[in-house]
Amino acid sequence: MSDKQTDFQKITNDDMYRSIYENSPDLFRTININGEIINCNKSYFETLGYLKSEVIGKTIFDHTSEESLSQMRETFEEWKKGGCVSNSEIWLKKKNGDKFLALLSANNLFDKYGTLIGSNTSIRDITEITAMKKEFKNLKRIRQEIMGELSIRVAHDLKNPLNVIKNSVQLIQFRKEPSTENYSNTLTRIEHAVIRMDHQINEVLEFVNPLPLDLQQNSLKKILENVINEMPIPEEFIVTIPTNDIMINCDQRKIEIILRNLVLNAIQAMGEKGSIIITTNETESHVKILVKDTGPGIPHKLRFKIFDPLFTTRQIGTGLGLPICKTVIEQHGGSISFETELEKGTTFTISLP
């Protein structure tokens, strides 16, 4: 490339940068190493209510609102030591005294020796965005409070009659004659339905009003045995649990809820028959629990949604099982992940400290 072409390219790039700087709707200001404003664009001085001549020579602290002065000074001193300013929220003040919340990001300027001499700072007014986010959070909080109160009332109203039905079924089963097979099957279906309803109610309660963790040393083998023994698992499904035992510091009730959800999800995913293999292993820092099924796998389009509250692909169920799993595991300081392959199955991995 010739010298003339190089010069032309430089001029073109400089003009392009200058045009972006001057005409951008975002606020731009250029400062030296002392924090003095040596240049700014039209959006900057007009937004703050000044003439450009009134801005040049002022410091960044002159345009910083009182509540952000300390933060601005700390940020400035860190920047002078070679730090970067990226997405820093600072309250700025206008000439008339009004203030607005701004998002600042700076591009450092260096001389030919690599010495920091100043920065170009991009500033965006995020007052309205922040207010909208705050309002959205407030509405979400109110909605959750209403949903929580309603769910708790409904759940408690249903639990009592469910207990009556369950106890009555158990009493009838105890008194029935052994030969009445159809009678027995009917009672079993009733009991399974009650268990399912009770499980759904517990899911709602756990989601909207989770209890604090009751951490104790527990036998993981015993927890798994409790889960499998208390679940109505159809004969067509084989569930294998490990014979080795590991002691973990956890909330036994909540870990049982998690494992029950994962086993139930696996059974429902596999359909008519299949196998579930639960394995455990221990490292120096974590205990891992793996729940593997032989189901159809999770479709690609659904994989990013499975931990979303109320998401379900089934006609029955609350859609809260996996979100509860994630929440409870994170309460314990752990994590949950999954690997899935179409037509081969899915493995959920729980990691607990």
Confidence of residue 175 (pLDDT cuts 50, 70, 90): low
Q: Is the pLDDT of residue 163 over 80?
A: no
Amino acid letter, 351: S
Whether this prediction's pTM lies above 0.85 is answered by: no
Give the list of residues 6+ apart from residue 351 with CB closer than 8 angstroms, or none: 286, 287, 288, 329, 334, 335, 336, 337
**Average pLDDT of the residues in 295-309:** 85
Q: How far apart are CA 44 and CA 56, in angstroms?
A: 11
Query: Looking up tokens 């003339």, which residue turns up?
Result: 4
Tens digit of each residue's pLDDT (9 = 90 or more) over 98-130 = 999 999 998 899 988 989 999 999 999 988 888
Tens digit of each residue's pLDDT (9 = 90 or more) over 81-96 = 877 888 889 999 999 9
Does residue 101 contact residue 125 with C-beta atoms inside 8 Å?
Answer: yes
Q: Is the pLDDT of residue 213 over 90?
A: no
Q: Is the pLDDT of residue 31 over 60?
A: yes
Three-class secondary structure of residue 319 per DSSP: coil
DSSP 8-state class, residue 256 = H
Q: How far apart are CA 270 and CA 254, in angstroms?
A: 25
Confidence of residue 241 (pLDDT cuts 50, 70, 90): very high
**Contacts of the segment 296-305: beta carbons below 8 A, 24+ positions apart:** 296/269, 296/270, 296/271, 296/342, 296/343, 296/345, 297/340, 297/341, 297/342, 297/343, 297/344, 297/345, 297/346, 298/338, 298/340, 298/346, 299/342, 303/340
pLDDT at residue 232, as a whole number: 77
Query: Looking up tokens 């009134």, which residue turns up?
Result: 54
Which domains are assigned to the chain? 3-125 (3.30.450.20), 128-209 (1.10.287), 213-353 (3.30.565.10)
Give the list of residues 6+ apart from residue 223 with CB closer than 8 angstroms, or none: 252, 255, 256, 259
Query: pLDDT exceeding 70 applies to what percent of the chain?
Result: 82
Q: What does the block give as tokens for 195? A: 């268990």
**Average pLDDT of the residues in 304-313:** 75
**Average pLDDT of the residues in 223-231:** 89
Cα–Cα nearest to 95, from 67, 134, 121, 58: 58
Confidence of residue 294 (pLDDT cuts 50, 70, 90): very high
Round the average pLDDT of the chain to a whole number and report it.
Answer: 83
